[in-house]
Structure 1
Amino acid sequence: MSLHPVRSACSHPHPCDMATRIAVMKRSQLTQGLSEEQLTNLARDLKAWSWHEGDPLLLAGEEVEGSYMIASGRARITRDTVDGKELTMDIAAPGDIVGPVSTVSTAAVDSAWAMETTCALFIPADALAEVVAEYPQFAVALLQMQQERLRQAREREVGQTVHTVEQRVAAVLEELAEKLGQHMSDGSILLQVRLRRQDIAGMAGTTVESTSRVMSRMKKDGVIDSGREWVSILDSDALSDLAFGD
C-alpha cells in the first residue's frame, strides 16, 4: 500500500447526539446490559466532551472527577516510567472507559491522549453511586470491568517474564485486531488506528527495536503487512500460532 489506508476522523470536535450515545453505550461492557429505556435515561444525563487530535483527555497525577466512555475516535493510554519515558498501555476505542471509575475524585494513574478527533461521555464520580443504586446491572458490570482490568494487569506482568517478545507482539496485534480490526475484501484485517511502533512496544512490554525486528520477520513471512503508522493482518491463524508459541 502506497497510501495510508487508515481513514481519518472528522476535522472538528462535535457533540454526541442521542442516537450516538445509545449506540456506544450498547457496545460498552459497562452499560450494554441496560434496557433501551434505561440507556435513554442515562444517556440524557451524561455530558459529552470532545478533543482535537493530540489533546489530553486526562493527565496522570491530576485529580479526576469522573471517567469517560469513548463515543467516537481513539485515545492512547500512556504511563510515565521512573526514568521519564512514556509507555503506551492501551488504545481506547468506542465503548471503552478511560480514567478511574470511582464515587469520589481520584488521582489518575495513566494519561489519555486523543489520537484523532475524539468524543466521550463523562460519567461524574459524585453521580456514580446514584447510577449504581438505580441500575443494578450497572453495578455488576462495574465489578466485572474492574476484575477484568486486574486480570489484564496480572497477565501483562506474567507475560513479560514467561513469554517471548514475538509471542507478546503477536498477542498485542491479535488484541488490537479484535478491538479495532476492519475486515477487508481481500481477507486481510486492517487495524483502524494510526499505530506507532512504540505503541506496540509499550503494550508488549518490550523495546521499539525488538518490536521492529519481530514485525519485520512477520512481514517477511506474510503474516502481516505494515507501513508508517498502520498494520494489516494477512494471516490470522499464523498470528495466533505465534502468540501461543506454536
Structure 2
Amino acid sequence: MSRSPLTRDLGPEEHLDLDGHLTAWSWAEGDPVFLAGEEVTGSYLVVSGRVRVTRDTIDGKEITVDIAAPGDVIGPLDIRASEAVDSAWAMETTCALHLPAEALAEVVEKHPKLALAIIRMQQDRLAQSRERDIAQATKTVEQRVAKVLRRLNGKLGQLQADGSSLLQVRLRRDDIAGMAGTTLESASRAMSKMKKSGIIDSGREWVAIADPDALDTLIGEE
C-alpha cells in the first residue's frame, strides 16, 4: 500500500487500522473484476498484476480507457454501493485489496490524510477526463498517442541496459487507441511514425520508450 497515492501518506498505525477493513481478492487472466452496469460494493487497490479498464461506446464498441497497475485504485470511491460505469478485466493474475463502500465513511472520518488523498484522486480523475476532451480538439493523433505512452511510462516503465524504458505490460494497439481517443488505424500510423523517428521501439504487445526527451518535445507544452 506504500505505492498507492491513496494510502502512502498514512502512518503505521493508520495502515494497521485500515487493514482491518480490507479483504484480499484475486483473479486469473481474463477474469472480470467488475462489469459496467453491475452494482459495485466498494473500491479495489491493486496490489499485483495489471487491470484493463474498458468502456462501451454508444455504437456498441469496447474501448480501453485506462490500465491500472499496482498502487492504482479502481472502482467508485463512494460510501454507498453504486453502479459501475466501466468494466475492469485482469490482464494477468491480479491481486487487489477491497475496501467496502459502507466502511469508507468510517475510515475517512478517522483518517483525514486518507480523505485528502481521495479528494486529490477524484480531482486527478476529473482533470484527466477534461484533458482528454480538450486534446480531442487541440492535439494531433500523434501527440495524443505520445501522451498516453508517457503516462504509461510514468507508472509502468522499467529502465533497460540500453537506456530505453520498457513498459511492463502487454500493450495492444487498440488499448493505446482507446486511451488516446482515436481509431486503431490512426494509432498504428502514429506509432509507426514514432518508431521510424527513433522515439519508441515496439513489437507485438510491447512498447519501449527509446527517447523520452523527443517524446516530450512531440507532446509539446501542456
Q: Are 2:103 and 1:127 aligned? A: yes
Matched, 1:43 2:16: no
1:72 to 41, 48, 52: 48
CA distance in 1, matches of 2:131, 2:194: 23
One-letter amino acid of the counterpart of residue 142, structure 2? E
Where does structure 2 lack aligned partners over 5 or more consecutive residues? none
Q: Partners of 1:144 and 1:222 in 2: how far apart?
A: 36
TM-score for the superposition, normalised by structure 2: 0.98
The CA distance in 1 between the partners of 2:142 and 2:209, in whole Å, is: 15
Note if 1:91 corresponds to 2:82.
Answer: no
Q: Helix, strand or coil for the counterpart of 2:171?
A: coil
Match of 1:238 in 2: 214
Q: Unmatched 5+ residue regions in structure 1?
A: 1-24
Q: Contact 2:21–2:100 at 8 Å: present in 1 too?
A: no
**1:165-203 superposed Cα distances (whole Å, 9 cap, x missing partner):** 010000000001111000011100000000000000000
**CA deviations over 1:31-89 (Å, ceiling 9, x no partner):** 11110121122124310000000000010011111010000000000000011101100
One-letter amino acid of the structure 2 residue matched with residue 216 of structure 1: S
Report whether the alignment pairs 1:141 with 2:117: yes
Matched, 1:193 2:169: yes
Output aligned runs, 1:98-109, within 5 Å.
Answer: 98-109=74-85
Contact map agreement 2:158 2:166 (CA 8 A) in 1 = yes
SS in 1 for 2:135: helix
- Amino acid of the residue matched to residue 145 of structure 1? M
Q: What is the TM-score with the length of structure 1 in the denominator?
A: 0.88
Match of 2:3 in 1: 27
Distance 1:218 1:114 in 2: 29
Given candidates 152, 174, 190, the residue that maps to 1:214 is 190
- 1:156 maps to 132
Q: Percent identity?
A: 64
CA distance in 1, matches of 2:194, 2:120: 35
How many pairs does the alignment contain?
221
